[in-house]
Amino acid sequence: MYLLGHLLTEPVGVVHYMIVGAVLFTCGVVCMATKRNALGILMGIELVLNGANVNLIAFGSPYLRGAEATIGLDGQLMAMFVIVLAAAEAAVALAIALNFYNNFGSIDVDRANQLKG
């Protein structure tokens, strides 16, 4: 309880961003595991990637305890790469989902076993 009270009273720092990133990551994993809809799974993947991005930016922050422990601009560059990758993934996945919907009238991922060749 002391740790939570201490986190709530101190100024926003790297630990706060890491907690937000971990919550986003966890919500994304839960969303991917529980959703049966393809769009829900895609949203879970986006949450996981955004949680990872928040942590990359936090680790690249110059306000970490001991400035030599930071990774500099590498965190921001990796986050930009993940954002580009997520945009490409979303475009391809939405195209697949739309094609699946046109063929089957639903985007329930349990029906995807009919796609076996």
pLDDT single digits (tens) 6-57: 667 777 778 888 889 999 999 999 999 998 787 888 889 989 999 988 888 8
Query: Which residue range(s) make up the domain with 32?
Result: 2-109
pLDDT value, residue 110: 73
CATH of the domain at 32: 1.10.287.3510
Does residue 66 surpass a pLDDT of 80? no
Does residue 62 surpass a pLDDT of 80? no
Would residue 117 count as lying in a domain?
no
Separation in Å, CA 97 to CA 6, 36, 47, 90: 46, 13, 18, 10
Would residue 40 count as lying in a domain?
yes
Global pTM reads 0.73
Would residue 115 count as lying in a domain?
no
pLDDT value, residue 115: 59
